[in-house]
Amino acid sequence: MEPYLAAAVQMTSTPDLSHNLTQAEALIQQAVERGAALVTLPENFSFLGTEREKLIQVKRIAAATEEFLVKTAQQFGITLLGGGFPVPAPGGKVYNVAALIGPHGEELGRYRKIHLFDVDLPDGITYRESDSVLPGDTIHLVRTEKLGALGLSVCYDLRFPEVYRALALQGADVLLIPSAFTAYTGKDHWRVLLRARAIENTCYVLAPAQVGTHYSRRHTYGHALVIDPWGNVLADAGDMPGIAIAQIDPKRLAQVRQQLPVLQHQRIEGSPIPPVKE
């Protein structure tokens, strides 16, 4: 593993699949022009509409998204994370999938979101992700020679620290947390939780994000971040579409882990953790 630049993309996705993919490609190109070798896209990057629309169009969304990820990774010669998109699942539902594609278009890893967002927020908005999505049951770690070990997750997983501790104990160097965090929760919890996951696991964190108004009352917080293993925010995309880009430095990773060897000191096992797939 050598030092490299990694980018967390920030988008305002809508129910318009074609528009979203065009927006994603433009932001990926910006990241590549700035030297990024790893580019990460947020949850729902290719489609962010109602659950009903998603279920009706899922086959089209999945096919177009996967074709886009392979083609774009090959075109720019990068490793590309499609942070979360629907793929058909049994029973008329979908999986919320994060797919990691290598620079030759090869699939390096595929993770199905484990924790589903079923929440009644104080602002009066209700989310029931489980109405349309089936949960996954396996944590996924992708080991690469050039980029290190990359731990996959999606959005609401962020609130379950055992996921990231399991990935870290398996050797994760960088935690990928693509999200569409609500504006209501994001203002208080987003940065705090991401910094905590970085600090407690002495890992880099890449958190691409959705921002703004997508449809009806769906509003997301933004602030895609790159965070180092000490918890320092290295880059912040703010509250508009754009990119957060920063260096992933293995020497910094080793330095922090030498100063705070918390992963070697863990003695108490937490709640049951799904198996890690590699």
Query: Is 113 tagged catalytic?
Result: yes
Write the single-letter amino acid at 77.
Answer: G
Query: Is 203 tagged catalytic?
Result: no
Write the single-letter amino acid at 270.
Answer: G
29: helix, strand or coil: helix
Residues 6+ apart with CB under 8 A from 265: none
Compute the distance between CA of residue 113 and CA of residue 156 in angstroms, rounded to an integer: 9
Compute the distance between CA of residue 209 and CA of residue 66 in angstroms, rounded to an integer: 19
Compute the distance between CA of residue 92 and CA of residue 81 in angstroms, rounded to an integer: 26
Which of 54, 66, 155, 203 does the annotation list as catalytic?
Answer: 155
Compute the distance between CA of residue 172 and CA of residue 263 in angstroms, rounded to an integer: 11
CA angle 62–101–94, rounded 5-degree value: 25
Torsion (CA) 17, 20, 25, 31 in degrees, nearest 10: -150
Which of 107, 113, 187, 251 does the annotation list as catalytic?
Answer: 113
Write the single-letter amino acid at 258.
Answer: Q
> 13 and 47 in contact (C-beta within 8 Å)?
yes
In DSSP terms, which residues pair with 11 in a beta bridge?
A: 210
Which of 43, 54, 66, 203 does the annotation list as catalytic?
Answer: 43
Q: Which residues are catalytically annotated?
A: 43, 113, 155
